[in-house]
Amino acid sequence: MGSRRESLSDVKATWEYWGKSDPLGAILSRSGDDDRWDLQQFMETGEAEISALFLRLEQLGIAPSTDRALDFGCGVGRLSQAMAPRFEAVEGIDISESMLDHARRLNRFEDRCVYRLNAQPDLKLYPDGSFTFIYSNITLQHIPPHLGMVYIAEFIRLLGNGGLAVFQLPSHFRSPVLRAHRWMRTRSPALHTLYRALWHGGEPPPVPPYPMYWIPTRRVQAHISASGGEVVARDREHSAPPEWLSFRYYVRKVA
């Protein structure tokens, strides 16, 4: 994770930068000759994701009430814009003002969807039981675990009666090579320099332009229980890079 503990200000600085330089590509990477997203195609990925999510919720028999939804780590509004037609009110929050500037310009549902900045290590801007549905995808994986665990507990606090929180988080690396590379890069710079020299072409495997974090599944589930929640379902999922084993958690507050 790093020779020093990453702070929330580090996270904010990273995403302010990407919100100004390449907000769409930083949220969803794109391969091919043209690595820049067409805006309409980018937003359509949000529609497809939310449609698939609600189909899965119906299959599980846990479709939430359509009162108030929260999009945690909303970025430019890719998911909250897709959620807005399904809920009476949607709030998107993000740590990056530059990302939120885009979200507000792209907001097609100003009567029911709002965007707020939250650069605090909690969600105290909202009282208990504020939402019936909370969704977060490819966000907690970029937040240091000691902060991510706080946000998970906050999700549960914010759920009202019958509410549901759904979030994604990697559990661990699939690849021992990449695991060793990350450990050396962050914990032993001298060993990492030797590793780079011995690697094919002198370069290690590629790493993302922003930190990636994980929390083992058993630790996540124990934390959910300790915070007053219950995991009603858990799916393997593939929105994280392929070298990660990642899960989607479906969580209700325990009555």
C-alpha–C-alpha distance, residues 224 and 242, integer Å? 26
**What's residue 212's pLDDT?**
87
CA distance 219 to 57: 24
Counting the structural domains of the chain, the total is 1
Instruction: State the CATH number of the domain containing residue 159.
Output: 3.40.50.150
Residue 173 forms part of a structural domain: yes
Q: Per the domain annotation, does 169 fall within a domain? A: yes
Q: Is 164 inside a domain boundary?
A: yes
Of 18, 4, 3, 5, which Cα lies nearest the Cα of 144? 5
Asked whether residue 163 is domain-assigned, the answer is yes
Would you say residue 119 lies in a domain?
yes
- Is 87 inside a domain boundary? yes
Q: What is the chain's pLDDT, residue by residue, as a tens digit (255 residues)? A: 334 567 899 999 999 999 999 999 999 987 654 678 999 999 999 999 999 999 999 999 999 999 999 999 999 999 999 999 999 999 999 999 999 999 999 999 999 999 999 999 999 999 999 999 999 999 999 999 999 999 999 999 999 988 999 999 999 877 655 555 555 555 555 654 554 444 444 444 344 467 889 999 999 999 999 999 999 999 999 888 788 899 999 999 997
CA distance 123 to 244: 28
Q: What residue numbers bound the domain in which 100 lies?
A: 8-253
Tell me the β-bridge partners of 71.
92, 135
Residue 3 in domain = no
2 lies in a domain?
A: no
Q: Supply the pLDDT for residue 245.
A: 92
d(CA 8, CA 60): 35
